[in-house]
Amino acid sequence: MHPPIKKIVLPVAGLGTRFLPATKAIPKEMLPVLDKPLIQYAVEEALEAGIEDIILVTGRNKQVMEDHFDHAYELEKILQEKGKEDALEIARSMLLEEGRISYVRQMRPLGLGHAIWCARKLVNEHPFAVALPDDLIKGKPGALKQMVEAYNELGGNMVATMNVAREDTSKYGVITPGAHSGNRIAVEGLVEKPHPDDAPSTQAVVGRYILQPEVMDHLNKKAVGAGGEIQLTDAMAKLIGSQPFHAIEFEGQRFDCGSKIGWLMANLSFAAEDPAMADQIRQLIKFR
């Protein structure tokens, strides 16, 4: 039996420069795909995987996210008075029991690894999951559930991966693959944003992880890596060899909603599956 995954860290403190000016006053994780903000998709995916404690690493403009997961008394009262029961139910749908969502502040955006390190006191001595909400994954079951199921058998550390074109390896963390078993791949090495000529494979890490608490010891060193940032990939790489480390080639479709094209494609893809919109969307795409 491996210790269960009950906590997740959701880093939401990035600057979101690729989405300016939309992200000037709101975090990019509040951008909606159809009618739901990205952060809500991530929390729902975590709950589906049986995760209980949600830890948000926030930066500037955090208040709007706290509000999203809290009562909106004025709105709820008005909806009640107007008898808008359906809208009221939606407005209340993301109210978790008090104490299950915690917020910790990353005071300077020094990189993803640094954001995760900011949650060390809340993670404590437990293995934990990480999801980057701007990596939206459409999967049934969700990517986190697929990973938690694999973790329950294999233990250790885990990253979600997908096969990318070789010219794109410089946008991702990339694994050195070892033995395969179905969609599970032993990880023998990890490198952040390798040049296509140097990439050890085309299996790229996307924003879902299961990590052992020892990763915090390596993040504690605050080593600066690719792009001048404290990289999670570098700290994870240090665990390889001393703890089990696997990649899960997840089933599902991933959208990079930190980029305009990825966000747009996510909207189209979700809309095409919504009976209320599917016909219009399909016609629009055909028409163009």
Which of 134, 146, 202, 236 is close enough to bind ligand UTP by CB under 6 A? Answer: 134
Residue 11 carries which side chain, given as an amino acid letter? P
Which of 7, 8, 14, 47 is close enough to bind ligand UTP by CB under 6 A? Answer: 14
Which of 5, 7, 9, 16 is close enough to bind ligand UTP by CB under 6 A? Answer: 16
Please state, in angstroms and rounded to a whole number, the distance separating the CA atoms of residues 198 and 204. Answer: 14
Question: Token digits for 148?
Answer: 């938690």
The distance of closest approach from Cβ of residue 131 to ligand UTP in the complex, given in angstroms and rounded to an integer, is 9
User: Taking CB under 6 A as the criterion, which residues in 93-132 touch ligand UTP?
Assistant: 106, 109-112, 114-115, 132
Question: Token digits for 213?
Answer: 């608490």
Query: How many residues at the interface with ligand UTP, by CB under 6 A?
Result: 20
The distance of closest approach from Cβ of residue 206 to ligand UTP in the complex, given in angstroms and rounded to an integer, is 11
Which positions from 245 to 274 touch ligand UTP by CB under 6 A, shown as an x/- string? -------------x----------------
Q: Which stretch binds ligand UTP (CB under 6 A): 14-22, 196-204, 208-216, 265-273?
A: 14-22
Place of tokens 């993301």: 94
The distance of closest approach from Cβ of residue 77 to ligand UTP in the complex, given in angstroms and rounded to an integer, is 33
Please state, in angstroms and rounded to a whole number, the distance separating the CA atoms of residues 123 and 127. Answer: 8
55, 104 Cβ separation under 8 angstroms: yes
65, 39 Cβ separation under 8 angstroms: yes
- Closest residue by beta carbon to ligand UTP: 14
Which of 39, 57, 190, 235 is close enough to bind ligand UTP by CB under 6 A? Answer: 57
- Map residue 132 onto helix, strand or coil: coil
Q: Which is nearer to ligand UTP, 133 or 142 (CB)?
A: 133
Please state, in angstroms and rounded to a whole number, the distance separating the CA atoms of residues 115 and 43. Answer: 18
Q: Which stretch binds ligand UTP (CB under 6 A): 9-17, 89-97, 162-170, 245-253?
A: 9-17
Q: Which stretch binds ligand UTP (CB under 6 A): 12-20, 78-86, 164-172, 193-201?
A: 12-20
Q: Which stretch binds ligand UTP (CB under 6 A): 11-19, 94-102, 174-182, 273-281?
A: 11-19
The distance of closest approach from Cβ of residue 18 to ligand UTP in the complex, given in angstroms and rounded to an integer, is 3
Residue 151 carries which side chain, given as an amino acid letter? Y
The distance of closest approach from Cβ of residue 110 to ligand UTP in the complex, given in angstroms and rounded to an integer, is 5
- Map residue 222 onto helix, strand or coil: coil
The distance of closest approach from Cβ of residue 92 to ligand UTP in the complex, given in angstroms and rounded to an integer, is 26
Residue 265 carries which side chain, given as an amino acid letter? M
Residue 206 carries which side chain, given as an amino acid letter? V
Helix locations, the chain, DSSP H: 38-48, 63-68, 73-81, 85-91, 112-117, 120-123, 143-154, 215-219, 232-237, 260-272, 278-287
Residue 223 carries which side chain, given as an amino acid letter? A
248, 184 Cβ separation under 8 angstroms: yes
The distance of closest approach from Cβ of residue 15 to ligand UTP in the complex, given in angstroms and rounded to an integer, is 4
233, 218 Cβ separation under 8 angstroms: no
210, 3 Cβ separation under 8 angstroms: no
Chain positions contacting ligand UTP, by CB under 6 A: 11-18, 57, 106, 109-112, 114-115, 132-134, 258
